[in-house]
């Protein structure tokens, strides 16, 4: 046996500039200091499909608890095979989870800042889309979801684009959704769009169908080429237009090119309250969508070059009941430059309690731009009013 001093003799030293083979040498354990790496041969059979584990045994290479396979059955998989990873185990039912680390996203493609992989996804985003023509069309918003399709983008936080083509939610439009279709956008907070060429730009708005725009807050545009631009307005059918009116429902009709822009029937509700604390003076009030304001914008607005045939039902009632009255008012209003009645509106008293003898309701033109309802109650009374306005409209 040769001890350590023999090994490190000049003729046996291993240097950086030379390679030597030391054979039949041993080192006394007492001569060793520090840590020495230990290893041992494994038990079992080594092959290209096994690996050496820390306990010294060989095991089959691959994922634990999963089985990989390829299906080339023809048809349908002869031309394009299917490679699969299946959960395995003794349990009858096994869940499957793909769990990123930290704030990482789940994504079908690896981001490459190009059209193949797209730009980086948002925190906690899920992106299953496999095709895009622009690198930024990905689930870029934090907590967003992009289900598939092509060239879609979920840019807003907490937004959803289920699929389709060319759809997107706009950055800053939190909680917005495109349910599917082609070239739709949801750009208002909590907005929903779907179909083709639909824009839901108002907060809490809904746009579905073809070429509709829901730009008013709480608005809904359904059908074909509708514009719901008034707060809480709804358009249905063909080419309906709320014309910035609040709380209105408009149903449009299909039309030939020579018929003009809008032919529709609309329904709107106005409200009001008359309060009189005196004993002799009556109180008069204009009814409006916003009862705190008599501005014509909160009434039944009329655009230039339009004519409306209208029917108004008005009801008033004292709080707590016992006294009420109702009227029907019909007529025709036209606006070329300023709005005016054609002839005199026809008013019919439907019914009234004895205590409502001083009450009244009339159709009026407000600021030369709107059809309004003016109501009057008696002295010392607080009356709550509702007016329902039906209009048949054309703007040839």
**Tell me, what's the pLDDT at 319?**
85
Q: What is the CA radius of gyration of the chain?
A: 39
Helix (H, G, I), strand (E, B) or coil at 163: coil
pLDDT in tens, 81-104: 999 999 999 999 999 999 999 999
User: Which of the listed ranges 17-21, 57-61, 234-238 does the model predict with the highest average pLDDT?
Assistant: 234-238
CB 127 within 8 A of CB 110: no
Q: What percent of the chain has pLDDT over 70?
A: 85
Give the contacts of 181 (CB within 8 A, at least 6 positions apart): 164, 167, 194, 195, 196, 198
Average pLDDT, the chain: 88
Q: If you ran DSSP here, which 8-state letter would residue 259 be given?
A: G
Mean pLDDT, residues 352-364: 94
**Tell me, what's the pLDDT at 32?**
57
Q: Which CATH code fits 106-237?
A: 2.150.10.10
Helix (H, G, I), strand (E, B) or coil at 137: coil
How far, in whole angstroms, is CA 21 from its chain's centroid?
73
Preceding omega of 234 cis (within 30 degrees of 0): no
> Domain residues of the chain, as ranges?
106-237, 266-394
pLDDT in tens, 242-252: 999 999 999 99
Mean pLDDT, residues 120-147: 98
Q: What percent of the chain has pLDDT over 90?
A: 71
Q: How far apart are CA 65 and CA 51, in angstroms?
A: 17
Query: Strands (DSSP E) along 82-211, which ranges?
Result: 82-87, 106-107, 126-127, 145-146, 153-154, 160-161, 168-169, 177-182, 185-186, 192-196, 199-200, 206-210
- pLDDT surpassing 90 at residue 287: no
- pLDDT surpassing 80 at residue 371: yes
Instruction: Domain 266-394: give its CATH architecture.
Output: Sandwich (2.60)
Q: If you ran DSSP here, which 8-state letter would residue 4 be given?
A: H
Give the contacts of 104 (CB within 8 A, at least 6 positions apart): 123, 124
Q: How far apart are CA 266 and CA 396, in angstroms?
A: 17
The tally of CA atoms less than 13 A away on the side-chain side of residue 314 is 32
**Tell me, what's the pLDDT at 278?**
67
Mean pLDDT, residues 309-336: 95
Q: How far apart are CA 38 and CA 27, in angstroms?
A: 15
- pLDDT surpassing 90 at residue 331: yes
Q: How far apart are CA 274 and CA 282, in angstroms?
A: 9
Mean pLDDT, residues 157-185: 98
**Which pTM does this prediction carry?**
0.82
Q: How far apart are CA 385 and CA 69, in angstroms?
A: 73
- pLDDT surpassing 70 at residue 256: no
CB 168 within 8 A of CB 153: yes
Q: Is 386 exposed, middle or buried (0-12, 13-18, 19+ CB in 10 A)?
A: middle
pLDDT in tens, 177-216: 999 999 999 999 999 999 999 999 999 999 999 999 999 9
- pLDDT surpassing 60 at residue 12: no
Residue 325's closest CA among 349, 293, 348? 349
142-151, 190-199, 208-217, 273-282: least confidently modelled range = 273-282
**Residue 55: other Cβ atoms inside 10 A:** 8
Q: If you ran DSSP here, which 8-state letter would residue 245 be given?
A: -
- pLDDT surpassing 70 at residue 292: no
Helix (H, G, I), strand (E, B) or coil at 258: helix
Q: How far apart are CA 285 and CA 279, in angstroms?
A: 18
The tally of CA atoms less than 13 A away on the side-chain side of residue 109 is 24
Mean pLDDT, residues 213-239: 97
Q: How far apart are CA 359 and CA 380, in angstroms?
A: 12
Helix (H, G, I), strand (E, B) or coil at 257: helix
**Residue 326: other Cβ atoms inside 10 A:** 18
- pLDDT surpassing 90 at residue 361: yes
Mean pLDDT, residues 335-361: 95
**Tell me, what's the pLDDT at 29?**
59
Task: Identify the band that residue 161 occupies on the pLDDT scale cut at 50, 70 and 90.
Answer: very high
CA dihedral 127, 131, 137, 143 (to 10 degrees): 0
Mean pLDDT, residues 272-297: 76
């Amino acid at each position: 046996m040769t001890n350590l001093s023999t090994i490190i003799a000049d003729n046996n030293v291993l240097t950086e500039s030379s390679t030597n083979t030391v054979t039949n040498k041993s080192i006394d354990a007492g001569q060793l200091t520090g840590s020495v790496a230990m290893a041992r041969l494994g038990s079992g059979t080594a092959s290209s499909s096994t690996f050496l584990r820390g306990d010294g045994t060989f095991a089959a290479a691959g994922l634990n608890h999963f089985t990989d396979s390829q299906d080339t059955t023809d048809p349908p998989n002869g031309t394009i095979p299917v490679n699969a990873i299946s959960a395995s185990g003794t349990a009858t039912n096994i869940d499957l989870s793909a769990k990123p680390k930290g704030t990482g996203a789940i994504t079908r493609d690896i981001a490459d800042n190009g059209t193949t992989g797209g730009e980086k996804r948002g925190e906690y985003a899920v992106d299953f889309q496999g095709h895009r023509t622009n690198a930024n069309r990905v689930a870029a918003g934090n907590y967003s979801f992009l289900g598939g399709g092509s060239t879609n983008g979920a840019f807003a936080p907490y937004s959803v684009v289920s699929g389709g083509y060319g759809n997107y939610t706009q950055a800053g439009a939190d909680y917005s959704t495109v349910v599917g279709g082609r070239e739709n956008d949801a750009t208002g907070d909590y907005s929903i769009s779907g179909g083709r060429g639909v824009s839901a730009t108002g907060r809490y708005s809904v746009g579905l169908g073809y070429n509709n725009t829901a730009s008013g807050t709480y608005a809904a545009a359904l059908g074909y080429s509708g514009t719901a631009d008034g707060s809480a307005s709804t358009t249905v059918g063909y080419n309906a237009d709320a014309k910035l009116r609040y709380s209105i429902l408009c149903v449009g009709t299909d039309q030939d090119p020579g018929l003009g822009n809008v032919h529709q029937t609309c329904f709107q509700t106005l409200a009001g309250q008359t309060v009189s604390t005196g004993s002799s003076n009556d109180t008069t009030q204009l009814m409006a969508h916003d009862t705190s304001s008599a501005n014509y914008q909160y009434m039944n607005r009329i655009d230039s070059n339009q004519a409306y045939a209208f029917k108004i039902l008005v009801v008033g009632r004292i709080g707590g009941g016992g006294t009420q009255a109702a009227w029907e008012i019909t007529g025709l209003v036209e606006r070329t430059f300023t709005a005016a009645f054609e002839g005199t509106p026809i008013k019919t008293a439907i019914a009234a309690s004895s205590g409502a003898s001083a009450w009244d309701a009339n159709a009026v033109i407000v600021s030369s731009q709107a059809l309004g309802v003016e109501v009057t109650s008696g002295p010392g009374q607080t009356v709550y009013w509702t007016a329902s306005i039906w209009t048949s409209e054309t703007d040839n």
